[in-house]
Amino acid sequence: MSLPFAGRTCLVTGAGSGIGAATAELMAERGASVAVVGLPTDSLGDTVAAIDKAGGTAIAIEADVSDAVQVQDAVDRVISEFGALHCAVNAAGISGQEVLLHEEPIEDWNRVLRVNLFGVFHCLRAEIGAMLRVGQGSIVNIVSVQATNPLSKRTAYTASKFGLTGLTKVAAKDYAEHGIRINALSPGITDTPMMRAGGAQSDQIAAFVPIKRVAEAIEIARGAAFLLSDEASYVTGSELVVDGGLLLRPT
């Protein structure tokens, strides 16, 4: 079996479920030592156990990405356990309420921005600091097709993901010459706890997708693994859309 990430470490946030968990497991399967990062309430142990069972290496680290100190501590822990940080996938995110802008509770707006935008800023800050010491690295920020074609009544989520696109691009520009590639991956509708919490059934949603099904989390993970890999050595500041053709639909 090919192990393109052998000898490398990878930190994945939101790795207790959904896209983050699938990415952590795939990176471990491809040889990386993985830091499985998420909230204390997340199933981080399940992801680590799945990696262990498959013969990989992983540690769980509890951290709330909206807290810059906790994020820095998480990256420091990766360095102390594994020696260096080579790859990161910033997947932690929340969807917020479905509500018109003038009815958006201020606290909901603040929370979504703190996790989805400030959270990735905290992660990039700590991850890039560590990668500058290695002299290379690769980071993927999980954005959304909603940063291209917003759903209505998702004000905070959409604003956070548009902001994340800008954050990804400026960081990519500033650190390219330091050997650090930073890209966005925008999933379409993916079967995860976040999608299921929205109340819709995957077969109902599938009708809207040109490929006629929602994505499995592993299909998004494969896109992230490509962007992190040497196969994408000349790719930075770009957005990989993995959406089954959703953005091709007329609005």
Ligand X SMILES: NC(=O)c1ccc[n+]([C@@H]2O[C@H](COP(=O)([O-])OP(=O)(O)OC[C@H]3O[C@@H](n4cnc5c(N)ncnc54)[C@H](O)[C@@H]3O)[C@@H](O)[C@H]2O)c1
What residues act catalytically? 157
175 φ, ψ to 5°? -110, 5
> Which is nearer to ligand X, 141 or 236 (by Cβ)?
141
30 in Cβ contact with 2 (< 8 Å):
yes
| CA–CA separation, 135 and 73 (whole Å) | 21
Answer yes or no whether residue 137 interacts with ligand X by CB under 6 A. Answer: no
Answer yes or no whether residue 127 interacts with ligand X by CB under 6 A. Answer: no
SS3 91: coil
**Residue with token string 């905290």:** 122
Answer yes or no whether residue 189 interacts with ligand X by CB under 6 A. Answer: yes
Handedness of CA 69, 71, 74, 78 (dihedral sign): negative
Answer yes or no whether residue 159 interacts with ligand X by CB under 6 A. Answer: no
| The binder of ligand X chosen from 27, 61, 92, 246 (CB under 6 A) | 92
| The binder of ligand X chosen from 190, 223, 225, 240 (CB under 6 A) | 190
Q: Stretches 27-35, 74-82, 167-175, 192-200: which one binds ligand X (CB under 6 A)?
A: 192-200
Residue 10 identity (one-letter amino acid): C
| The binder of ligand X chosen from 24, 89, 93, 236 (CB under 6 A) | 93
Answer yes or no whether residue 68 interacts with ligand X by CB under 6 A. Answer: no
| The binder of ligand X chosen from 45, 135, 179, 193 (CB under 6 A) | 193
- Shortest distance (Å) from residue 109 CB to ligand X: 15
DSSP string, 156-176: HHHHHHHHHHHHHHHHHHHHG
| The binder of ligand X chosen from 10, 11, 19, 224 (CB under 6 A) | 19
DSSP string, 124-155: HHHHHHHHHHHT-EEEEEE--GGGTSPPTTBH
SS3 98: coil
- Shortest distance (Å) from residue 129 CB to ligand X: 19
**Interface with ligand X by CB under 6 A: which residues?**
13-14, 16-20, 38-39, 42, 64-66, 91-94, 115, 119, 142, 144, 187, 189-190, 192-195
